[in-house]
Amino acid sequence: MEERVYIFDTTLRDGEQSPGISLNSREKLEIAEQLKRLGVDVIEAGFPITSPGDFEAVKLIAERVRGPVITALARAVDEDIDRAWESIKEAENPRIHTFIATSDIHIERKLKKTKDEVLKMAERAVKHAKKYTPDVEFSPEDATRSDFDYLCKTIEVALEAGASVINIPDTVGYALPAEFGQLIARLRKSVNGLDEVVLSVHCHNDLGLAVANSLEAVKNGANQVECTVNGLGERAGNAALEEIVMIMDTRYRFLNKRTNIKTEEITRTSRLVSSLTGYQIQFNKAIVGSNAFAHSSGIHTDGMLKDRVTYEIISPQKIGLTASKLILGKTSGRHAFKGRLGELGYKLSEEEFGRAFQRFKDLADKKAQITDEDVEAIIAEEVRTVSEVYSLEHLKTSSGTEEVPTATVILRKNDQQIEKTATGDGQVDAVCKAITLASGVETKLLSYNVSAITGGLDAQGDVTIQLEIEGKKVFGRGVSTDIIEASAKAYLNAVNKSLA
């Protein structure tokens, strides 16, 4: 018999815990709205107790996004649960997700509690959450390293207290697929009432097994999978939503499981999350990587030319990779550009559209044809940028084989112009040093990456940069046909994020 699997997306909570990611409320709302279009069942919007900004973002999503369940995370303490409810109470379908660790390692070394104390905290947390909403999810953190009998007891306490969802996390990505599947099967057999609620799993990818473990759990009775777009998350990340969904879709006859995901929205969702988080997608990433549907081997290309199914098990159109119906260029007007934005799913205000259109016309003077990827880069740069404390007014660089690389920048802060010149080990280094002098923000470079948005010598360069500023990791992104300018924009974007 076919079984439904619910997709619980935690990109906005666990995914945002990836080092350097810091989304503002507007960016989180944009992702949440796209997750709704994608068809996810549950959106974990955040961890409201952690900061006023996270609280406001969760609250905004709960008020604006209708359809999916909107859940907020809370530790097993009253203050967290109260704050979580305050943030999601306006949601059409609210859920409180509370958790407490159950492994000996966590209980003794992190919580410094006894097992009896943890049981009482779990019971109290679920009962307290039930006062606000009938939909309460409970997670025994580090379940895969917990004593099995104690894990069963904790779950039983949570069920008796009224939990409607039980989530089994492989918090540190320790389990092997057969082992994790067996754990789910044993729990279903040993815990009374577990078959009467939603049984969820949340797997981390420390050993590269998050997707495999999640699927093994589904085969053994789990009916909700917690995952993130592009596999974002703590350390090595979480189970990748796009992989989970497309495995179930492609191997439906074997698994006999289905989701409500609109697979044609996968590519757009992936690109949106990548754009807003600054985490670029590796070329060979399954499903959404740029090489996922590329073929270079002579044997492969020969087979593809004869019949695509020889080497493609997924149709590109299935995940939303469709050819552009409209070629944009320097002669394209406002109507054509607005029409393409609509086809790509973007809805902009008149002010936002005006800025995006001007950026499009500037780019069209430098590139013969504008691709969908170019358009998405324009939206990322011109519409989704953080409130700028500093803007780049002017940039000039000079360099040569026997010349010290030099850069001059002019930044604007309100009505003030600040001009600084610096030298460096290359033009990019000189530009970044000049921006540091002009802004007064000291940074430490952690990573720098350049990629081409499209092919060709006129392609836009996409620069992502990670800085450490006052002990915090911050990502910046800049796009331009000039790599030096893109680098300056990325560096300044990170500086502005830290100041914002």
349-to-81, 252, 353 alpha-carbon distances in Å? 36, 41, 6
The CATH label, of 3.20.20.70, 3.40.50.10540, 1.10.3720.10, 3.40.50.970, for the domain at 3-277 is 3.20.20.70
94-101 and 136-141 as β-strands: parallel, antiparallel, unpaired? parallel
Phi then psi for residue 490, to 5 deg, are -65, -45
CB 13 within 8 A of CB 45: yes
CB 247 within 8 A of CB 225: no
pLDDT at res. 308: 57
Q: Which amino acid is at 281?
A: I
pLDDT tens-place values along the chain, 500 residues long: 459 999 999 999 999 988 878 888 988 999 999 999 999 999 999 999 999 999 999 999 999 999 999 999 999 999 999 999 999 999 999 999 999 999 999 999 999 999 999 999 999 999 999 999 999 999 999 999 999 999 999 999 999 999 999 999 999 999 999 999 999 999 999 999 999 999 999 999 999 999 999 999 999 999 999 999 999 999 999 999 999 999 999 999 999 999 999 999 999 999 899 988 888 888 899 999 878 776 444 444 444 445 455 557 788 888 887 644 455 777 778 888 888 787 776 778 888 888 888 888 888 887 777 777 778 777 776 665 556 789 999 999 999 888 999 999 999 999 899 999 999 999 999 999 999 999 999 999 998 988 877 666 667 888 989 899 998 888 888 888 899 999 999 999 899 888 87
pLDDT at res. 4: 95
pLDDT at res. 321: 79
Euclidean distance between CA atoms 53 and 35, whole angstroms: 20
pTM above 0.85, yes or no: no
Nearest residue to 228 via CA among 202, 252, 249: 202
pLDDT at res. 305: 44
pLDDT digits (tens, 9 = 90+) for 349-405: 888 888 888 888 888 887 777 777 778 777 776 665 556 789 999 999 999 888 999
Residue with tokens 């000996």: 104
Euclidean distance between CA atoms 398 and 267, whole angstroms: 40
Euclidean distance between CA atoms 382 and 354, whole angstroms: 10
Structure tokens at 210: 């998050």
DSSP 26-72: HHHHHHHHHHHHHT-SEEEEE-GGG-HHHHHHHHHHHHH--SSEEEE
Phi then psi for residue 178, to 5 deg, are -65, -40
DSSP reduced 3-state for 459: coil
Over the Cα atoms of the chain, what is R_g? 25
Euclidean distance between CA atoms 259 and 243, whole angstroms: 12
Domain boundaries, the chain: 3-277, 292-321, 323-383, 391-499
Euclidean distance between CA atoms 186 and 148, whole angstroms: 9
Class of domain 391-499 (CATH, top level): alpha beta
Query: Given this chain, do its domains 3-277 and 391-499 carry the same CATH topology?
Result: no
